[in-house]
Amino acid sequence: MAIKMRKPSAVVALCSLANFVNAIDRVLMPIAIVPMTDEYQWDLSTQGWILSAFAFGYLPSQIIGATAASRYGGKRVLAFAVSLWSISTLITPFIASSSTALITARVILGLGEGLGLPTIFHVFGYRVSPEERARAFAYLVAAGSIGQTIASAICPHMSWPVPFILFGTIGLLWTIMWLGLYDDRRSLNDDSSEAPPLLPFSAKAVPWRELLSHWALWAIYIAHFAMNWSNYIIMQWLPTYLTRYLGGQTSSLSLTAVPYIANSLCGIGFGHLADDLSNREAWSVRSVRRVMTAIGLIGPGIFLLAFCAVNNLALAVLFVTISMGLCAGNSAGHLSNHADVAPNHSGYSFAISNTMATIPGILCGPLTAALVTSSDGRWFPVFVLAACINFTAAVIYCGNSKGTAVVT
């Protein structure tokens, strides 16, 4: 009989590993598109559509992921999701000569990865106590940042097909490990002194109207949208910006790892800080979430403006690193707020939020290409727009968010 995981920390670790692979597979194309463009002679518009194709699959899969996890259990759904995105990653080098086939694979990649996070939120809702959730989400997000860091550091030094084959295979191996170790059912022999208060499985209908009618939830959705607008621009276009606009060499793409290192370290730090503050009488959960979200939106907005104002490669990397480090505050802010305001439906509220926050992924590819082209190769309109969206969302979130349940 397979050994099953019992402690929440083991569940968090394995889910974080899945997000680690998820993040690597997502960032491979933005890195590889520089040498691939040299090989296949794509124009800026084609590059934009290839980069954004991911979001077309990611967008519709959010609600599907949350619903499927509740119906079929996190074990099977997450295994299917990781298998799907890993296979699409693995086959990429073999179909890249056809832009149509490549875009199709990117859509499938987005579909698989879109199923992943809502399913993990569902698993955390049943396996992680409220007092540990900010920390759990911080480790989850940090694992993704570490994955992006590793990919950014090593992939520019490899022949571009190699990382797709390598990390696609690793994802399939993770699936085998997940199926062997994770059990949707909790053992009746669990020590109650160690087991956290978990949410019971429920057959209640999902309160979609309530999830779409509370300003406390819309504040989260808007903050998530803004965060992803900036993140998609950085994830999709940073390698191209550094090489084509700032004149960096292909080897300098390893510098794109630095912002993700900052994001990882700051994410863990913000998670622990948020949990510590939440346990103090002087701090309410709402206050903690608002402060962390303000740091995660206003800070990056300021440094994105500084980023686009410099022409020096080192300064540009420094400013985008600070921006990504501050952005990590969101993991202990609005991303953790789902479990506070919709404790029994956090998977569904996150699915709605992530669906809306995928719209930037669709728009940022072609819109960025159009803005740069219409501005005679200048990029400042792209970053000014992102900063303005961040500032607006921070005001809305801080004025409307709550720290207690509004949907039960």
CA distances from 247 to 31, 172, 253, 311, 331 (A): 16, 37, 11, 9, 33
**pLDDT band with cut points at 50, 70 and 90 for residue 182:** confident
Phi-psi region of 182 (alpha: psi -120 to 50; beta: other; left: phi over 0): beta
Question: How much is the pLDDT for 69?
Answer: 80
> What is the structure's pLDDT at 6?
56
H helices of 96-129, in order, are 99-127
Q: What pLDDT, on a 0 to 100 scale, did the predictor assign at position 21?
A: 95
Split at pLDDT 50, 70, 90, the class of 194 is very low
Other Cβ atoms less than 10 A from the Cβ of 375: the count is 12
pLDDT of the residue at 50: 93
Asked if 351 contacts 125 with a C-beta cutoff of 8 angstroms, the reply is no
Within 8 A by CB and 6+ apart from 344, the residues are: 125, 199, 202, 204, 407, 408
Look at residue 201 and tell me whether its pLDDT is greater than 60.
no
| Encoded tokens for 30 | 């933005």
CB atoms within 10 A of CB 279: 10
What's the CA gap between 94 and 354, in Å, rounded? Answer: 31
In one letter, which amino acid is 220?
I
Contact 305, 383 (CB under 8 A): yes
Query: Do 336 and 296 touch, CB atoms closer than 8 A?
Result: no
pLDDT band at 360 (very low <50, low <70, confident <90, very high): very high
Indicate the pLDDT class of residue 187, thresholds 50, 70 and 90: very low
Domains assigned to the chain: 8-184+210-400 (1.20.1250.20)
Quick: pLDDT tens for 258-301: 888 888 889 889 988 998 898 888 899 899 999 999 999 999 99
The answer on pLDDT for 117 being more than 60 is yes
CA distance 381 to 298: 18
pLDDT of residue 131: 67
Percentage of the chain surpassing pLDDT 90?
Answer: 45
* Of 30, 89, 21, 60, nearest in space to 354 by CA: 60
Residue 385 CA to residue 232 CA, distance in Å, equals: 13
Contacts of 82 (CB under 8 A, 6+ apart): 18, 21, 22, 112, 116, 171, 172, 174, 175, 178
CA distance 401 to 399: 6
173 Cβ contact partners less than 8 Å away, ≥ 6 residues apart: none
Task: Write out pLDDT tens, residues 321-340.
Answer: 999 999 999 989 999 899 88
Q: With 80 as the cut, is the pLDDT of residue 193 above it? A: no
pLDDT of residue 204: 59
Q: Residue range 94-116: average pLDDT?
A: 93
Token pair listed for 156: 């520019």
Q: What is the DSSP letter of 244?
A: I
Q: CA angle, 279 as apex, 274 and 280 as ends, to 5°?
A: 100
**Nearest-CA neighbor of 397 among 301, 282, 298, 278?**
298
pLDDT confidence tier of residue 205, bands split at 50, 70 and 90: confident
Q: What is the pLDDT of residue 185?
A: 63
Residue 5, pLDDT > 60, answer no
Give the CB-side neighbour count of residue 253, counting CA atoms within 13 A.
30
pLDDT of 208-223, one tens digit each?
A: 899 999 999 999 999 9
Task: Extract the tokens encoding 396.
Answer: 């809305």
| Average pLDDT of the residues of the chain | 86
103 contacts 54 by C-beta, under 8 angstroms: no
